[in-house]
Amino acid sequence: MLLKDKVTLVTGGAQGIGRTIAEAFAKEGAKLIICDVNEENLKKAEEEMQKNGAQVLALKANVSSSSDVDEVVRKSLDNYGTIDILINNAGITRDNLMLRMSEEEWDAVLNINLKGTFLFTKACSKVMAKKRTGCIINVASIIGVIGNAGQANYAASKAGVIGLTKTAAKEFAKRNVRVNAIAPGFIQTAMTDKLSEEIRQLMLKEIPLGRFGQPDDVASLAVFLASENASYITGQVIRIDGGMVI
């Protein structure tokens, strides 16, 4: 029970990496808030987690809307009285080559991946700074470190998340709030299931450990970073990519 009674808010918690992180945190004793735009998957996740004994509050919210974010934080505080851990995980891709990328594709990705992380960090860090303890984990991507053709919007958003992580870590360190980023490589979820078999095979060749990552791999790292075992770690970007970016 590394996270006993820690109130943890996971954005994009209805499926994929976010849902797996939420489930791993529940196993370690955390109390959960999961929020997501996808109401159907959110309901399913809430029911299944409750069936497995988790304490979970599921809230429909769009992370890029400041009124939705404020509402989630207010309801979380009404329900649990505090927020100890924030996992900024919600994210999307809208891939296109730069010359073909529309303003809408650019804005959608920046608004959800970067602005959403800023809004939740701002709202939750207020609560954490006041009680002088807390932990924020931002789900970035190796693409934010190395770039990728066809993903100018996504790469810029994730590089932005990395800059935001380091800045927040510096601003909140004296309040004992740690802020770190996880930068996954290729993890098998709905996001990567969209890619063609040809691209998947090309990527596999680039992974020294010879396999795609699983959401559980990311969840184990998130549990460690949120636990007391990582109490001297802040401002870091930890890659979890099977060695793809050695």
Residues that bind ligand NAP (CB under 6 A): 11-12, 14-18, 36-38, 41, 62-64, 89-92, 112, 139, 141, 184, 186-187, 189-192
Active-site residue, selected from the candidate residues 154, 164, 172, 241: 154
Beta strands across the sheet bearing 177-184: 56-60, 31-36, 7-11, 85-88, 134-139, 177-184, 237-240
154 is an active site residue: yes
Residues 86 and 145 sit within 8 Å (Cβ to Cβ): no
Residue with Cβ nearer ligand NAP (2 or 145): 145
What is the smallest separation between the CB atom of 235 and ligand NAP, expressed in angstroms?
Answer: 19
Structure tokens belonging to residue 23: 């489930």
Tell me the H-state helices in the chain.
16-27, 39-51, 66-80, 103-109, 116-131, 143-146, 152-172, 190-193, 197-205, 215-226
Q: Which is nearer to ligand NAP, 84 or 241 (CB)?
A: 241
Q: Distances in Å between the alpha carbon of 44 and those of 30, 63, 169?
A: 19, 20, 34
User: In whole angstroms, how close is the CB of 200 to ligand NAP at the nearest point?
Assistant: 11
Q: Which is nearer to ligand NAP, 92 or 129 (CB)?
A: 92
- Looking at the Cβ atoms of 102 and 231, the one nearer to ligand NAP is 102
Cα-only R_g, the chain: 17
Q: How far is the CB of 66 from ligand NAP (least distance, A)?
A: 12
184 three-class SS = strand
CB 10 within 8 A of CB 23: no
Quote the least distance from Cβ 50 to ligand NAP, whole Å.
18
The residues annotated with a catalytic role in the active site are 154
